[in-house]
Structure 1
């Protein structure tokens, strides 16, 4: 998909800028034409000569280059490429993009372009978690900017957490997806993910051990195949996927409202671990341990989101996929659940404590449909998501 494509690569300042050299090399290996734009701070980490040699292209750095600007070079640069990639995208660059500032070549190109933009954020974990950066991220995603990463891990500053720039193969995969229509182009898919929190009082709640990792991976895999994804998530441990429409909820009732308010979908994947019950007599203020005895909690059933959508008579998605997290008789219980709920597929897994699946990085699932039960080998949750997304694309073809 990348052969003969033209990438305008903006290299921001940061230790991760060294990865941009490998990115250029790998893109060129795939037949891409790469035009680098090196920011002033980026030049503190990589040299113009290195970028020029690897890209076999002129390097652009100065907005007021008289030769280029005589022909409005910044406008031509911003629109001649098939895709603009910012790697690394620093907190400063993201802030400029979100605010519409244009005081150097890179920010001017980003404001003047009519092409899609993909950013690979890279910064200190506290900078990434700062409310200002998160506001900027939300603004950029709302503007249609694509995002890959950041990853979690050790940083050059000695801290640990999210903020590491995505690895080069991940960035190339995101570029490939951005330039590809994909088999799910034009399809709208609804995905639910994460746990729900059912209040006991304002400071306590009932929940489960779901991290939201599998649902997040599914949302990302569907988006990578070109789908427009509405991603409804409870309070998960992981960040939502990039390039999707994120709706955050807390309770099962809120999740049902979000699902019913979402645009009509071609398929729906209910990966959320929705609490079966809520506390009917939840306190408006904190329940105190005052020696008067144990509190009495009254439980009520939560709405069944999967069954509600599966049994719709009008507007039902063509394909409805449920999940069954079981600890006993996995296949039998999941098969019975599929029939009881009325969904098309059930993705079943054994979440017994010894499996390490609930909250872990791997999954071992069985896909249950009219055709029977198909056991998949244990693999990473991203690989499970990719395989499921491909099956969904085949079903919707």
Structure 2
């Protein structure tokens, strides 16, 4: 596997475009389109929030019932959530318009929205945006990067990644783009992610691979504990790599899963590290657990702890907050066996051993915690399983951003 420059347009046959439709933002692009020159097998996972935005309902139906998908239309600024039948009708109108200009069925058009909940889309601007997007479709790095920028809301930078790998003597590419900075929590988050590949694979295995992988990637991040109404992750495979189609599990399927895991992990960490107001990516790894589930529950509890996140922002080695968050996670463990470390490019330091504080240097700990990527490692000494979760620190700017988000 080799990482390459690019994102959603890295794989053969995929194009992208962006435009400024004036949906909410001024002087920036706010709509994007991804298009495959040939029909795609499509898989998806969506928010677990009971309140689901209209685009989630639309895409979920396409993933389940459509023979294929070929395009995705995305807008930033308005979420089209809690908008009733009118919001669903706007999904239909958007898909119909895309179908018209692209020459494909409306049932092959996915839609996605992100932004403020409760407002109706300015459908005339959306329709005009679709008309503007189609002629701009292009392959290559620049088109993909421009699309990744267009779907941002409070994100501070675009998020994309791509890799190549070999299957059946053919070079296969998988790449993707995502957005997400706030209202991010495990169980899919206001995250939108679009992953594309030229792999030939059955729809059933495509969905199985995605559903399994999301548990270890996007579902292991949290910024603020809020599970969004709009979370959508779509994976499209058009088969243009011309590898022997993967129809059963084996070495080829495993190679694909490895590449998918790299792409999804990279995108997920980008979102966690770009949390609203964040200054650091905060990774928590629990090792030597009895089970993977136990390790993941403990790791997620720590990254969701507001007190721990605030300590990371202040570069304060307040390990008691971490042990406390582990204690209320619901996962059983022996606190008298736990060793805890902090690690970053600034070094590694052991803070507690067998649940008791060591005589460590606060100055050295602060130096380690001052890096833009910080890891806490908890050793349970109970088994050989492990799990990792990703979050960010909690800064003053998080409140500032969210206090006036609608304006």
Greater RCO structure (CA 8 Å; 6+ sep): 2
- The structure with the larger Rg is 1
Normalising by the residue count of structure 1, what TM-score does the alignment of the two structures yield?
A: 0.30
| TM-score, with structure 2 as normaliser | 0.30
